[in-house]
A and B are shown apart, each in its own frame.
Chain A
């Protein structure tokens, strides 16, 4: 059974294996398919139209499935690898071990945002940015430069306290847990982290930065925590909602998996705590 661990607790060997598996997916071309899929959904999910991956109730199950696919791809390279998660409410500075050269590398240099250390720096030749929206082919970050501080534990708790999973109109204007976690409304958790990292993470091709997976693995963990706190609150809507994925409707791009199939993560993986 896959156990997803806090990135701060990984051993040197676990980090090395994770990085090597990511680089192998990149080398084989499989990695960029994930970037492409994400950008296609982020550009087509709209508040007043069809919406599946973002700004909608299925934001959470869609990303759970997307991460499962990526994790399974990693495990096809190295069966010992699991997705780590980044608790950004705790490891909230640029000095966190997450950003060390033996793991993801640090922030970008000031004048062009280029990441210059770690296994994903352009200078390694191992990490060309091929699915991109502009001419730049190097990984970029600007940790903490363009956003207020990362969310605090108190802010996380204020969102976990919300009883309703989601609410009409089931988009970026909604009240409820999903939209507050996603960040279009309220204290802003998930969106703010994308902006804090900056560079590619602030764009539609955000999975170009491997921290995308660690960020979303923690967002996914927060969904699991919310479920434990609110055992009588379930995914909504449960049927007949135009443009929105109801509980028992299948999700694109897979077309064979429903939110109902993804509510319980324990059939796929567990967490270290």
Chain B
């Protein structure tokens, strides 16, 4: 059996994610419990492996996530930074291919990003996916420009 390289695994997972949005949409909550750390090996790129432990209505900090979505790596994690620049990430940082994406939490717990600023979604993970959809492959410019 040939070894499957990490790159090939990611590519395969990305292709799966790109064609199987329904899989992520129906990922059971149970999957989201222990696989949320970006440092947990073996979960990257697997649809449904990312954390969605908050409903977006709770005022707790959402869990971290890390996946390849439509061929791009999206990550999110609680962050202690904020208030340094003109922007406010609400104690949570999101990255697309390693570049930080400006996100914001609304009072009702929903989220927006600078590339989808008038259309709230339930979680920062959803905001990251919406950003990938909007970018259509384009690279983000460095934060805090975006």
Contacts and interface: CB of A to CB of B under 8 A. Distances in A.
A48 interface: yes
B135 interface: yes
A218 interface: no
Contacts of B114: 39, 42-43, 133, 203-205
Contacts of A55: 106
Contact of A112 (B104, B107, B136, B141): B136
Interface stretch (B4-12, B32-40, B72-80, B115-123): B115-123
A195 interface: yes
A13 interface: no
B136 A40 contact: no
B26 to A, nearest CB: 22
A172 B106 contact: yes
Q: Mostly helix, strand, loop or mixed at chain B's interface?
A: loop
Nearest to B143: A133
Interface footprint category on A? 35 or more
Interface residues of B, number: 27
A133 B146 contact: yes
Interface in A186-235: 190-192, 194-195, 202-206
Q: Mostly helix, strand, loop or mixed at chain A's interface?
A: loop
Contacts, number: 87
Contacts of B120: 184
A42 B104 CA distance: 10
Given A135-B138, A172-B107, A191-B119, 18 more contacts: A42-B114, A43-B87, A43-B144, A47-B105, A49-B88, A111-B136, A133-B140, A134-B140, A134-B146, A136-B138, A147-B119, A171-B107, A173-B107, A202-B118, A203-B115, A203-B117, A203-B134, A204-B115
Interface of A: 39-40, 42-44, 46-49, 55, 111-113, 132-136, 146-147, 169, 171-173, 183-184, 190-192, 194-195, 202-206
Interface of B: 86-88, 90, 102, 104-108, 114-120, 134-136, 138-141, 144-146
